[in-house]
Amino acid sequence: MAENTPASTPAFPCPRCGKPSRWSGNPSRPFCSERCKLIDLGAWAAEEYRVPLKQGRDFTDEAPDYED
Ligand SMILES: [Zn+2]
């Protein structure tokens, strides 16, 4: 298991763009690049905001809607 030999490290698809990338010496893993990493984090955060509060989530603890 020579992990510091780049040639022996298997390529993996970047979760963001799907481009084959390598783990070895990659500070942005599992992403292929810092950019993909940031994009993915941003998308994830944006998704949080986009999720409707009343559905698609498991938490049913929130206060019910009062109907007048
Ligand atoms: Zn990528």
The residue ranges of every structural domain in the chain are 10-50
- Output the CA 30–ligand 1 centroid distance in Å: 9
- Output the CA 51–ligand 1 centroid distance in Å: 24
At residue 60, the pLDDT reads 59
- Output the CA 59–ligand 1 centroid distance in Å: 32
Residue 36 has pLDDT above 80, yes or no: yes
**Domain over 10-50 is classified CATH 2.40.50.140:** no
pLDDT above 70: percentage of residues in the chain: 63
- Output the CA 13–ligand 1 centroid distance in Å: 8
Residue 17 has pLDDT above 90, yes or no: yes
At residue 1, the pLDDT reads 53
Q: Which two tokens stand for residue 16?
A: 């963001």
Residue 10 has pLDDT above 80, yes or no: no
- Output the CA 11–ligand 1 centroid distance in Å: 12
At residue 18, the pLDDT reads 93
* CA dist list (Å): 20 to 5, 7, 8: 17, 14, 14
